[in-house]
Structure 1
Amino acid sequence: MAGLVSAQMVLASGPNFPTINDFLPPEILFQGTPFALNRIVLIRLIMTVVILLVLGITTMRAKLIPGRWQGAVEWMLGFVRNNIVYEVMGERRGKRYVPMITTMFMTIFLFNLCEVIPGANIAATATIAMPLVFAFWTFFQYWIAAAREQGLGKYLRHELIPKGVPLPVLIIVLPMQLLDVLVVRPVSLMVRLFANMLAGYFILELCLAAAQYFLVNVTDKLMMPLGGFMLIAALVMTLFESFVAALQAFIFATLSTVYINLSYPEEA
């Protein structure tokens, strides 16, 4: 009977589960000014400073024979250059975009990784602002590439009017193609990154909240195995979200490179 009463109390109070309000935190610095910062914006700024410091210090201390740290940084830079940019665009085209795609990949990866870093506990890309910025960056770059390499008129004819499509079908295809170029590409980039990091945050925080509640807040020992299970699930999710952080950065960088490459004429 005591165990039943305890279980009812657990269900009545419940763990402190995450809510959408976690993504609308109060301002903690410069309140009431145009420069007001909340927790998520502060995490972005701190991580940006960390990225710049790491790359700056690594560059200043670079040696001809790299050590482990320099080797790891150079491996990441080489991975983006060779396995994303050059793999999609080739070396001749890709050289122009290596700095952009490398910046995009490293920033998204480390911003995503904030979700599992103690003290941050939320991905800096889990709100719509940062995915939107990166998506628009890609959007502007493939339009600039199209205007420079083949002219906007020729690019639009190529994209909107596929070869061999009959006129009656073209009436349907043309608006769909225009929607793809103007809306679907940037929105798909934005939503994919945002939705994955948002969902990952909720799942991980649900596991952690349940684990804390059943192991710390509940005195009934019958609930402890459930708490232990949720703790193991949280640890597994932490490792999985670390993988997702890298995977989403890779997908975003690769698709951005593909979209920019599509702006070049086929014969180039």
Structure 2
Amino acid sequence: MTAAGLHLPTAGEESHFPPTPGDFWQPLFAIPGTEYYFTRPMLLMAIATGLLMVALFVTTRRAAIVPGKGQWLTEQVYNFARNGIARDMIGSKDFMPFVPFLFSLFVFILLNNVFGIIPPFQNPTMARIGFPIGLTLIVYVVYHWVGLRKAGGVGRYIGGMLPAGLPGWIKPFILFLELITFFITRPLTLALRLFGNMFAGHMLLVVFIVGGWYLFKTFEPGLMLVALPAWILGALLTVFEALIQFLQAYVFTLLAASYIGGALADEH
């Protein structure tokens, strides 16, 4: 298994480059009695969940006024999600009930993203479209449930999507566009943005790291020389990818908070 989560063939094995779709199918074992498989991304997701549970428990079980290093780090991340995301996007009046959800969402996505550059994982789970879709569905249910509860009914909730003061003849067209935005465009772009960035970054690392290996193993001096700058660029891209991984976790959580804040706005 390489930095990209792909198998590098050894001597005597047939090799191919660039990777094929089959290289991304990574089943570990079949689930007994079913046609389904437990895959490597599923394992990484389970590991991320376990690591977060243990880390949060260990750093907060003996919380003190003067925090230790672990407690201090957890508090910094929590305060970032609380003040920099929840309060800023939802408002100081209504934000507190949503802080645990947004904090959990942020750290969960961030850790799974960072798996893309941490050995021996080196495979971002959010580069599998099913996982961003699952998180998006949770956000989708939350902000629509909040909006419906705030409005007091489906009719009022949908009616609140229309800006005040519109001429009657244009309201059906604007409502149609708003329904597409709230029920289709928002969840679609939220999931695809996270997936696309994680998948694209993963592929860049594949190209330069695995590609460099294929050049090196030709044992031709000219190609072996080209492998070195490919690996150097791969290392630089790894640092850049770490920034993208943080930003994508932040953007996803920020947009989730924005949608919740919009659902709680007075016009709803």
TM-score over 0.5 (shorter chain): yes
Q: CA deviation at 1:38?
A: 1.2
User: Which residue of structure 1 aligns with residue 56 of structure 2?
Assistant: 55
Supply the distance in 1 between the matched residues of 2:233 and 2:93 (Cα, whole angstroms).
46
Supply the distance in 2 between the matched residues of 1:34 and 1:65 (Cα, whole angstroms).
53
Consecutive unaligned residues of structure 1, counting only runs of 5 or more, are 1-12
Structure 1 residue identity aligned to 2:212:
A
Q: CA deviation at 1:174?
A: 2.0
Are 1:221 and 2:236 counterparts?
no
Q: Secondary structure at the match of 2:55?
A: helix
Task: Write out per-residue CA displacement over residues 175-213 of structure 1, whole angstroms, 9 at most, x where no aligned residue.
Answer: 111111111111111110011111111111111111212
- Answer yes or no: is the 8 Å Cα contact 1:15–1:209 preserved in 2: no
Q: Secondary structure at the match of 2:93?
A: helix
Supply the distance in 2 between the matched residues of 1:14 and 1:227 (Cα, whole angstroms).
17
Distance 1:226 1:14, change over 3 A: farther
- Answer yes or no: is the 8 Å Cα contact 1:18–1:206 preserved in 2: no
- Answer yes or no: is the 8 Å Cα contact 1:80–1:105 preserved in 2: yes
User: Which residue of structure 1 aligns with residue 29 of structure 2?
Assistant: 28
Q: Secondary structure at the match of 1:116?
A: coil
The number of aligned residues is 254
Supply the distance in 1 between the matched residues of 2:115 and 2:20 (Cα, whole angstroms).
18
Are 1:133 and 2:138 counterparts?
no
User: Which residue of structure 2 aligns with residue 264 of structure 1?
Assistant: 264
Supply the distance in 1 between the matched residues of 2:123 and 2:44 (Cα, whole angstroms).
9
Supply the distance in 2 between the matched residues of 1:213 and 1:239 (Cα, whole angstroms).
22
Are 1:235 and 2:235 counterparts?
yes
Distance 1:18 1:120, change over 3 A: farther
Supply the distance in 2 between the matched residues of 1:34 and 1:98 (Cα, whole angstroms).
39
Distance 1:138 1:112, change over 3 A: same
Q: CA deviation at 1:267?
A: 6.8
Supply the distance in 2 between the matched residues of 1:153 and 1:262 (Cα, whole angstroms).
17
- Answer yes or no: is the 8 Å Cα contact 1:28–1:39 preserved in 2: no
Supply the distance in 1 between the matched residues of 2:104 and 2:192 (Cα, whole angstroms).
20
Consecutive unaligned residues of structure 2, counting only runs of 5 or more, are 1-13
Supply the distance in 2 between the matched residues of 1:164 and 1:248 (Cα, whole angstroms).
37
Distance 1:170 1:91, change over 3 A: closer
Are 1:84 and 2:60 counterparts?
no
Higher share of residues assigned helix = 1
User: Which residue of structure 1 aligns with residue 203 of structure 2?
Assistant: 202
Task: Write out per-residue CA displacement over residues 209-252 of structure 1, whole angstroms, 9 at most, x where no aligned residue.
Answer: 1121223x021222233111110111011111111111001000
Q: Secondary structure at the match of 1:28?
A: strand
